[in-house]
Amino acid sequence: MKIWYTSFVKILVVGFMLVVGFSVLFFVFIFNEKMQNYETFRVIENSSYVSSAIVYNESLVKINVSGLNFSEIKSLKFVFYGEGEYNLSSSVIRENYDIFASEIGLDDFIGINRIEVEIYYKMVSEINGNILSKKNSGSSNSGGGSQQSGGGQTCVPSRNCDYYYDLGQCGLSLDNGCNTTLNCQNCTIGNCINESCVVLSNCSGECLSMGVFCDSDMIYSCNFSDGCFKKTNMTLCEGGERCLDGECVNEMISVYYIKDGADGDNSGLNWQDAYSSFPLTLQRGAIYYVADGNYSYYNFNSSNGETIYIKKATTIHHGSDVSWQDSYGDGKAIFSGISFSTSNYVFDGQSGGGLGEWNESFGFEIYRENNICNGQLVSLQSNVENITITHAELHSQLDYWMSGIKGTSGIKNLNVSYCYIHDLFGQPFYLGYSENIEISNNYIDKTKSTGADDAFCPYMHSEGIATIGTNVNWTIKNNIWNEISGTAVIAGLNYAVHTGWKIYNNIFANSVTTIWVYADHNHALMSDTEFYNNVIVGESGISQGALRIEDGTNNVAYNNVWYNNIANTFNFFGFEHDYNYYSKNIRVEDCNPPCDMNSQGASGELNAQVENNDLFISWNGDPLISNFELVNPTNSGLNLGSAFNVDFFGNVRTNWDRGIVEYSEVRISLFGQLVRWLGNVVKIFN
């Protein structure tokens, strides 16, 4: 009996080993080519933050990062340089990364000769009273010059403001109310370059700082390489052109200067003789640089003709250097209101707005108070065309009803971008009979309505956008809409007709219903609307949580996210909808405990994703300091084509994740883990 039992055990053991052995041999045979990745390698030279970067068999790179406080880092981005540039981001922070060529869209790493890692720091609500963000870069090069550290210098704010700046690093800092400055006051050795303290050696002095500049009629870039500033991309302006502030312009173009309180001859020909205020009429085709100061309400009414450029003068871009002082360009030019009675103007504050600067550092500011009921900050008169408003802050005193940009008698080709429009008793945009309107990269914050008991302006409704008449071909993208009250963020009222609107990559936060087009007593309709990859978050106790168009055809909503909203209903009306994501949407009225509303929103969608999870890295009620990157990728959304394939942060969509951000993660693939496991098994058997 004992002999039989022993033999049986031996048979089992041998059988098990044979099964394991044949399995291992099978996998080794199948994955032999992948295992060879660990047999040939080349080293890419290391530099700051990258202690090693080794490419195995041109298909895998193993990267080790060091010298960082990982607890302070939100994400890393690896940038691969060769014949092109390839990016891969990770919100998982660790020392070692394995990245396969396929993860950045390559067949192999042949030709890749440099790897850079960009470090993005967490936004912390309070560290020594300061808000933190921005980035630092370190690179790994196969050749080239090196940058020498200034000995671990610590950067501090240059003014008494709340700054965005790097923990213990040098670099660009953005402040709240002060100008963008280089935050390197105590680099005791060297200069602040590329966000590092750098010692310059053996330099010829070709140029002095990074940017695009002029040398007579030549335009050139000044970049930092091999320990020096050097001129690159030198291009001679074509015949009939001259170089002005880093741009080739028509040599016949006139340039004028405006400075509040100027005391020269008022000819406007240079800063010494600048206009002390805006002249009654402006010259068509000219550029007007405006210095810091306070300027009265101005009506742009020059006879129609070539485009007139109104530019805020900055310390870098200010036209002539004659009698220029940097103090003319380190603040704001503040207007009490502007109006456009004729066409073809560019009103450009030149700084502020967009990622990292949503509500700060603007060159132009339009502020109006103690105004009559039903006023506006920017007025667009009848049938004006080709108006650009960019890098400007628009706001009012909340005691009076005031719209932001108003033009209800015909407007064509209006572009509003990189603006901060806030604190309005009225609509940020009130337009009518419009065509080709683009609203992009703006922060629109806090609008209010008046009630029946308002002594000054009763029954004045607020919306984000209100229209009348026919409104064709609008693009609304990459904006943040926050605390918009009234009828809806986008309201269809007053017999308005909307056709061909593209609305994508927006954040609608803490606001009323996103789209509501009324057909009953307002007789409005909307058709051919494309509502893609938006995030609707933080709606609080509204009647309609989804989208509602009561009259119109061919309206579609794909790849959007509804997260953490409170509404009485989540029914869509007038939309074909699919591929949307729903999580933590509830009803509280007549519901105790709260009723789950996710399934109602997803009703009728074949590809809806319904969960009850935290979708974003963080949502804390404030869209400016929340992190809308995804914890995990969503189910693949609908591929909407090249017109919509870039996300809120400029990343190309591949999975078509739902919401504003395409998920991107540096991760060890399951296949790579399997190869390593098999290698260990083979070693054991050997």
Residue 9 pLDDT greater than 70, yes or no = no
pLDDT digits 0-9 by tens, 262-291: 999 999 999 999 999 999 999 999 999 999
Q: Averaged over 214-226, what is the pLDDT?
A: 77
Residue 501 pLDDT greater than 80, yes or no = yes
Question: Under a CB-based contact definition with an 8 Å cutoff, are residues 530 and 504 in contact?
Answer: yes
Bridge partners, 424 (sequence order): 447
Confidence of residue 111 (pLDDT cuts 50, 70, 90): confident
Bridge partners, 627 (sequence order): 618
pLDDT digits 0-9 by tens, 537-588: 999 888 899 999 999 999 999 999 999 999 999 999 999 999 999 999 999 9
Confidence of residue 433 (pLDDT cuts 50, 70, 90): very high
At 601 the pLDDT is 95
From the list 437, 370, 372, 380, the residue with the least C-alpha distance to 405 is 380
Q: What is the mean pLDDT of the chain?
A: 78
- CA end-to-end span of the chain: 35
Bridge partners, 64 (sequence order): 52, 96
At 23 the pLDDT is 56
Q: Averaged over 486-499, what is the pLDDT?
A: 90
Residue 156 pLDDT greater than 50, yes or no = no
From the list 435, 479, 536, 502, the residue with the least C-alpha distance to 643 is 502
- Name the token pair of 36: 């060879």
> CA angle 67-69-72, nearest 5°?
145
Residue 173 pLDDT greater than 90, yes or no = no
Most confident among 185-194, 390-399, 539-548 (mean pLDDT): 539-548
Confidence of residue 685 (pLDDT cuts 50, 70, 90): very low
Question: Under a CB-based contact definition with an 8 Å cutoff, are residues 481 and 462 in contact?
Answer: no
Residue 86 pLDDT greater than 90, yes or no = no
Confidence of residue 150 (pLDDT cuts 50, 70, 90): very low
**pTM, whole model, 2 decimals?**
0.69
From the list 475, 487, 547, the residue with the least C-alpha distance to 511 is 487
Residue 142 pLDDT greater than 50, yes or no = no
At 120 the pLDDT is 66
Question: Under a CB-based contact definition with an 8 Å cutoff, are residues 494 and 513 in contact?
Answer: no
At 316 the pLDDT is 83
Confidence of residue 38 (pLDDT cuts 50, 70, 90): very low
At 543 the pLDDT is 80
At 380 the pLDDT is 97
DSSP-derived secondary structure for 453-471: T-SSSTT----SEEEEEEE
Residue 202 pLDDT greater than 60, yes or no = no
* 469: Cβ contacts below 8 Å, ≥ 6 apart: 408, 432, 433, 434, 495, 496, 497
